[in-house]
Amino acid sequence: MRSKRLVFNIVYNLCVFAIGIAMIYPLLWMLASSFKESNTIFNTASSLIPKQATLENYINGWKGFGKVSFTTFFRNSLFISVTATFGTVMASSLVAYGFARFQFKGKKLLFTAMLLSMMLPAQVLMIPQYLWYQKLGWVGSYLPLIVPYFFAIQGFFVYLMSNFISGIPYELDEAAKIDGCSYFSLYRYIIFPLIKPALVTACIFSFIWRWDDFLSSLLYVSKTAMYPVSLALKLFCDPGAASDYGAMFAMATLSVLPVLVIFLIFQKHLVEGISTSGLKG
């Protein structure tokens, strides 16, 4: 019995490990390229080991453009991603609670509106959104990149969380209500802790999406000193001229790190789902 288990364990780990390597091949490739001399990247594209490892790309890349180094770009990205993520997760969980637990007039309509807003290709809203934010006087600042998220405009998260809340036994609410608990306390002390896996998932997604987003910062942020990393990365390459691919890969590798760290920190909390948080009784 035990040896069977051991064999199973080995086979399991081997399989998962092998697929895992295939999954991270691109990152390995990017990492390897970032240590190659910039002009040899394409000629040695199939090899993962640089003939002559060099740190030059990192040094060149970090200098950034003009007077602005990647220290600034990373700080900008962090600021935008963290605030927007905080806003979107908080607001979405509130709204999701409203959708999942209450019946009210116009709910269906509102829910449909939320779904519809996800179905329109984002690219087509770029111009009208720009004109509207310009009317509000927000162009050139981070406001368009942050404020909307405090209003739960990402239907995806609202829907995700309301799905989770629906899965929580309703008896809990009722018991608390009989005990005289207000709806907000109910949300705050019962629902919120119980949807932790969903909150964590939303945090990870939102952070990554904000971190990778360059289209909105392209339109709304004009000063180089305010560029996020995603936008700054694009300045390394231009189709018509010599591009510093080495520096680009170096900075792209670094730009994945914060996201990876966020993921590693948060994914631990995914593990403790409802099954271990005391709902068993």
Smallest distance from another protein to CB 3, Å:
18
Please, which residue, 8 or 55, has the CB nearer to another protein?
8
Q: Read out DSSP for 129-194?
A: HHHHHHHTT-TTSSHHHHGGGGGT--HHHHHHHHHHHHTS-HHHHHHHHHTT--HHHHIIIIIHHH
- Least distance to another protein from the beta carbon of 121, Å? 5
- Residue 99, classified by CB atoms within 10 Å of its CB into exposed (0-12), middle (13-18) or buried (19+), is buried
SS3 of 110, please? helix
Candidates 59, 61, 53; CA nearest to 37 is 53
Q: How far is the CB of 55 from another protein (least distance, A)?
A: 18
For residue 235, what are the CA distances in angstroms to 6, 40, 150, 204? 52, 20, 30, 27
Instruction: State the nearest-atom distance from the C-beta of 59 to another protein, in Å.
Output: 13
78: number of CA atoms within 13 Å, CB side? 11
| Complete DSSP assignment for 68-92 | B-HHHHHHHHHHHHHHHHHHHHHHH
- The nearest distance, CB 94 to another protein, in angstroms, is 5
CB atoms within 10 A of CB 120: 9
- For the CB of residue 78, give the shortest distance to another protein in the complex, in Å: 10
> Are 84 and 242 a contacting pair, CB within 8 Å?
no
- Rounded distance between C-alpha atoms, residue 97 and residue 195, angstroms: 10
Rank residues 54 and 139 by Cβ distance to another protein and give the closer one.
139
Closest to another protein by CB, 54 vs 212, is 212
